[in-house]
Structure 1
């Protein structure tokens, strides 16, 4: 009897706060595997649910190596069964020997159009050269759209003139996804660096005409970078930002907008969200399947470096994050959240055994599995 009780206690401990899953309510499968399809490495995951409920997974397909520069294509896979299986890898964008990357899609629920914002640069230009102003070219901003639920895409259209200021050097859309506010405004999180200073800042792009034109919205302070946005229950917009270059205490930075992203308040560090540093994802999870409650989800690596991919949930609009579990204990980096049509939570993220960029995996989990982890 004592042995049985001890085994029961051990089981409880193994499923305790933030423990990795051995539960039936978590399923994981690879979507992009580095080395396959003629590409050295797949990076920068993005996933979004289409108007029909299908899933589109995007990634940078890097031909020559794992680095951020070079011949990089934009590819996608589609799932019609909530991420259980995926269709073939399809080429969304190819800029020849140059870089076509940083996918950041957003769905316009009013028109059904899926907009995909991306950035381009010469394959020979590295980030350090663009920052220093010694590169042959610079980063440019482009947009594509799909009118058929993500099956096909328009030709890319350049929007650099309206999306990037002349004094900005480095530039990136996302990575991750954009959102549509209750007002109908489309909002894309982005970041840039300022010439002569190498200061990095988060900012947002927005469209009030269903994607016909894009404008620069709120700009955060120096030391912010890759970001994701979420609309709070009271209508404010919260921008969750990478701390870059990292400075102690290395925590995620959070800024709030009261005017739909046109301006941003000074950011605060969120002590509950460690920064390895890396990109992170945040998304609203307020569905009938979630009990109709206002909840936010957040994912990023929670280790000292890019490792230990963790999902967290807040039930007070991001004030606290007491519920959390680990998806992968080993190397892990960028991630992107999605809410599936049945209320299941999806996470597309980079992971591996020896390095974080070996594969891009899709995890499916339900609320019951997630809420087994809670701060005590």
Structure 2
């Protein structure tokens, strides 16, 4: 483990790491937020005064060395910060679309109305969105927030319908009983926003991870069991895999605690109520997670929090195959 001492600003603490890989030139952009020391997120929300900055470092040699910090706050967010109480990227991973757009998931607490007597917490709502670059990371912009449903930490994935038709999918943490998911038909606006009925949310919400994947050799999936939505041997549309604590209902409102990290799969992402699972890959206390799909191998890797008495005691890493997912869910 190598501390990245260049990934910091004096007087600030570094939070919410979120890497995205630019495949054409082999560059890793590691985004994060730098938050002023001594200022909590709740204080920013309460007083409507942002104390976070948008920063990144990059590596051109697979992480062996890293650049000095680049602060994008003034160039990318200057006109927005007066209306934002605070913001953050990730935590988790970004994606690069088939057309080359780099995407970094983020969320912001947006002030809808201020009151001179009452702190603006009463008029501040969280919304998921993303930063993006269409020129390989030279310039960054921000997409419009998803305002139809309050949500915070999110991850995005590109769904391939055909080789020439792609959609952007967003899965986000909420304060409701289920996760929010959204679909973008043109990569610039999320036309479909809904609660994912098959994905329960934890008490107070919890970050979750999602990846899209296509099987390069669908016949590698065991054919001993019938899978809903799978026809023939060819898989053209992307499937989705998702990880999140499954927990058990722990109060009157049936909110679930952060235990039992589970894997869910969706074989038909465009249709509602198509999530199946969970398969528990870590029993006991568990929290945040991050997924990656090893393309062409049918293997997933997952980095996640877990512990004996508290979910943040340790960080673990595991790998599993698509065969194991199918056998344990269906």
Would the alpha carbon gap of residues 162 and 232 (structure 1) be closer, same or farther in structure 2, given more than 3 Å must change?
farther
* 2:183 alignment counterpart: 256
Residue of structure 2 aligned with 1:139, choices 42, 46, 52: 52
Listed one character per residue, the Cα deviations across residues 115-167 of structure 1 (whole Å, up to 9, x for unaligned) are 111101112101111112376x6111012211111211111111113443121
- 1:345 aligned to which of 279, 289, 300: 300
Structure 1 contact 233–317 (Cα < 8 Å) conserved: no
Point out where structure 2 has 5 or more consecutive residues left out of the alignment: 112-119, 221-233, 248-255
Q: Closer, same or farther in 2 for the Cα pair 1:97/1:140, shift >3 Å?
A: closer
Distance, in Å, in 1 between the alignment partners of 2:86 and 2:136 is 27
Aligned to 1:204: 130
The one of 318, 329, 336 equivalent to 2:290 is 336
Give the equivalent residue in structure 2 for 1:174. Answer: 90
TM-score by length of 2: 0.80
- In the alignment, is the contact (CA less than 8 A) between 1:139 and 1:169 conserved in 2? no
Partner residue, 2:169: 238
Q: Work out the CA distance in 1 between the residues paired with 2:132 and 2:323.
A: 35
1:281 matched to 2:209: yes
Cα displacement (A) at 1:94:
3.6
TM-score, normalised with respect to structure 1: 0.71
Contact 1:220–1:264, Cα closer than 8 Å, also in 2:
yes
Pair 1:124 & 2:38 matched:
yes
Deviations 1:247-270 (A, max 9, x none): 3xx10111111111x212252011
Q: Secondary structure at the match of 1:316?
A: coil
Aligned-partner SS, 1:205: strand
Counterparts of residues 144-159 of structure 1 (less than 5 Å): 144-159=57-72
Structure number with the bigger relative contact order (C-alpha 8 A, sep ≥ 6) is 1
Report the Cα distance in structure 2 between the residues aligned to 1:182 and 1:333, rounded to whole angstroms: 31
| Paired positions, count | 282
Please give the alpha-carbon distance, in whole angstroms, between the structure 2 residues aligned to 1:286 and 1:150.
Answer: 27
Instruction: Say yes or no: does 1:224 pair with 2:181.
Output: no
CA shift for structure 1 position 359: 0.5
- 1:70-149 superposed matches below 5 A: 88-91=1-4, 93-96=7-10, 98-133=12-47, 138-149=51-62
- Cα offset, 1:317, TM superposition: 2.5
- What SS is found at the alignment partner of 2:278? strand
Kept in 1, the 8 Å contact 2:94–2:103? The answer is yes
Deviation at 1:318? 6.0
Partner residue, 1:25? none
- What is the CA distance between 1:110 and its match in structure 2? 1.3
Q: For residue 187 of structure 1, what is the aligned residue in structure 2?
A: 103
Aligned equivalents of 1:134, 1:257: Cα separation in 2: 30
